[in-house]
Chain A
Amino acid sequence: MAGSEGRTEQPQGGESGPGRRQFLRTLSGAFLGIWALGGAGALAAYMRAPEEDHSSTDRIVRIGKLDELRIGEARLVRHGVSPFFVIRTGSESVIALSAVCTHVRCILDYDHERRGLVCPCHDGRFDLNGNVVSGPPPRALPTYEVSTRAGEVFVRV
């Protein structure tokens, strides 16, 4: 701190040409500036939390047996910070939708009667394709790929 204080008062005396002096001063300043830049960069790099492991096995979530899901039932899967709904729409068709509202990240509820998702905070509504039906949400809900293997439902998040 005191250093930067002093640095503003670069040497005033001396006989060499003012051009060269000015150049040296700028060069030194630039050089020291890299410290600040480097420090800020390093800090930013450090503060950027490492992303979760991207191995494919981690990203495939096992939901359970297809038979255990009733047709028309929506199940909220609590997966990390991004919960999602798994909804069985027909005998063979299962869909997975993010349960996080695109408005202000409230957790959505499933509306059985209207077959859609409704936000408890601001009454934003989504259909089962994730499209916004009404309310403030700005974007459609992300949908996830569902696969059924040997009677078990898996969701790729």
Chain B
Amino acid sequence: MSALGKGMGMIRRVMALALLLLPLAFLASTSAHASARKTADGKVTRASGRCGSCHPDERVAFEKSRHAGEEMHCTSCHGGNDQTVDEAAAHSGPNWRGKITRAEDPKICASCHSDETRMQPYDLPVDQYDLYQTSGHGKGLAKGDGKVAVCSDCHGSHEVLSAHDPSSRTYVTNIPRTCGTCHGDSTLVRERKLKDTYHEYLGSVHAKSLFDKGNLKAPTCVSCHGVHGASPSDIRNVNKVCGRCHTAERRYFQAGPHAAAMAAKQMAECSSCHGDHGIAPSETARLATSCVKCHAKGSKDEVLGATLLATYQAAEDEIRKAEALVAKADAVPLRTEDYKARIEEAHTYLREALTAAHAVSPEGMSGYTERAKSVGEEIQEELKSKLQNITVEKIFLLVFWFYVIVTIGIIRRFRDADAEVVK
């Protein structure tokens, strides 16, 4: 009994000691690289072989990546032997490459990603490397510029993720920040005499749409500049780039007098008024304020802008009045669903008028403003007459009072009929 008790006490003591030591052991195992080398159990995983024994951080990053499950191994890029923990044996062999330099990075990625047979199962394009060569980054790299972006700068080195993965650096909402790592870095940007386009973009209507409204279709850096072939747009092509999405605006712009004149003078077309990276939301006021940037104040052309604005505002005013009347009718209440639908229609015309304004022709724009205006006026007219119908009730009220008074007269006659009886 007592021996057993002693034995139990012993076990308890050992366990307590083990519990005390456990965190220490844990610390020891994770803190130093050297100790990792010693305690390594040589655990083999499919993707990283035994490399993880000495390179645990890289292993973790790699195992999470898109590559890990796709017959990619450490050795695919770095070479060497991943079946041993012996450093000399592992870091050797005919294809041993070791640490990959920035200069060779694109080539190594291309060794698979330009191979049609390898990419076919994943339905991936194979032209990224060729495109990269044409890009500003690729050209820089070819000239020996070590600071231009290479594949791993955007995609990550070990942690390459699919562009559809929201945690990926190449996921649509992360793209601006990925580009901004360099293009928003103040020292880098100053050094290279570039614009801090990242921070400019953050203030744009595009960024608001992307981040605030969660519109994944909103343009990011790559929408205009291209992905792997990223390059600054040629100034003559800016309107084409914008016109990819803003097709109607471009059509009107091409039809207007600005297109030829600006092309002749090699002026940036859309961005002259709207700005480039920090594109501001469309404001109707700009119809009148942006002209003065190029045209002399008070000149015929400068005044034209004010005319456009006035036309637009006149239409907008009518619709606002119509809306006020609809609110009034709602309080009565009258049936207003139909009017609300028509006001929506008028708003559409107004919106189209702004698009048409890119042709800077008052005639072209007035087609839409006139329609919007007439809808607004029609609604006002109809609602006014309907609201005035209520005055019919007021006339009826007069008849009613006449009736009441006559009735009171009759009752008074009846009332006084028995005056004698009381006396």
The stretch among B150-158, B231-239, B407-415 that forms the contact with chain A is B407-415
CB neighbours (8 Å) of B411 from chain A are 3
Q: Is the CB of B407 within 8 A of A35?
A: yes
A156 to chain B, nearest CB (A): 20
User: In chain A, residues 98-147, which have Cβ atoms closer than 8 Å to a Cβ of chain B?
Assistant: none
B406 to chain A, nearest CB (A): 6
Which size class do B's interface residues fall under?
10 to 19
Chain A interface residue count, CB cutoff 8 Å, equals: 11
B417 at the interface (CB under 8 A from A): yes
User: In chain B, residues 393-415, which have Cβ atoms closer than 8 Å to a Cβ of chain A?
Assistant: 403, 406-407, 410-411, 413-414
A32 at the interface (CB under 8 A from B): yes
Residue of A nearest to B416 (CB): A11
Q: Is the CB of B414 within 8 A of A11?
A: yes
A39 to chain B, nearest CB (A): 12
B41 at the interface (CB under 8 A from A): no
A121 to chain B, nearest CB (A): 40
CB neighbours (8 Å) of B403 from chain A are 34
Residue of A nearest to B406 (CB): A31
CB neighbours (8 Å) of A3 from chain B are 411
Q: Is the CB of B413 within 8 A of A28?
A: yes
User: In chain A, residues 23-60, which have Cβ atoms closer than 8 Å to a Cβ of chain B?
Assistant: 28, 31-32, 34-35
A111 to chain B, nearest CB (A): 42
Q: Is the CB of A31 within 8 A of B407?
A: yes
Q: Is the CB of A6 within 8 A of B414?
A: yes
Majority-rule SS of A interface residues: helix
Q: Is the CB of A31 within 8 A of B410?
A: yes
B123 at the interface (CB under 8 A from A): no
B402 to chain A, nearest CB (A): 11
Q: Is the CB of A10 within 8 A of B417?
A: yes
CB neighbours (8 Å) of B406 from chain A are 31
How far apart are the CA atoms of A128 and B417 in the complex, in Å? 73
Q: Is the CB of B420 within 8 A of A7?
A: no
CB neighbours (8 Å) of A13 from chain B are 417, 420
CB neighbours (8 Å) of B417 from chain A are 10-11, 13
CB neighbours (8 Å) of A7 from chain B are 414
Residue of B nearest to A24 (CB): B413
Q: Is the CB of B420 within 8 A of A32?
A: no
Residue of A nearest to B403 (CB): A34
Q: Is the CB of B410 within 8 A of A28?
A: yes
A21 to chain B, nearest CB (A): 11
How far apart are the CA atoms of A3 and B420 in the complex, in Å? 20
How far apart are the CA atoms of A10 and B413 in the complex, in Å? 10
How far apart are the CA atoms of A7 and B415 in the complex, in Å? 10
How far apart are the CA atoms of A31 and B406 in the complex, in Å? 9
How far apart are the CA atoms of A31 and B411 in the complex, in Å? 11
How far apart are the CA atoms of A10 and B418 in the complex, in Å? 10
How far apart are the CA atoms of A6 and B416 in the complex, in Å? 12
Render A2-24 as a binary contact track against B, CB cut-off 8 A, 1 for contact. Answer: 01001100110100000000000
Residue of B nearest to A27 (CB): B410
How far apart are the CA atoms of A47 and B50 in the complex, in Å? 89
CB neighbours (8 Å) of A6 from chain B are 414
How far apart are the CA atoms of A32 and B413 in the complex, in Å? 13
How far apart are the CA atoms of A6 and B406 in the complex, in Å? 18
Residue of A nearest to B415 (CB): A6
14 A–B contacts, CB within 8 A, in A order: A3-B411, A6-B414, A7-B414, A10-B414, A10-B417, A11-B414, A11-B418, A13-B417, A13-B420, A28-B410, A31-B406, A31-B410, A32-B407, A32-B410
6 further contact pairs, Cβ within 8 A, besides A7-B414, A13-B417: A11-B414, A28-B410, A28-B413, A28-B414, A31-B407, A31-B410
6 closest pairs, A vs B, by CB?
A11-B417, A28-B410, A31-B410, A31-B406, A32-B410, A32-B407
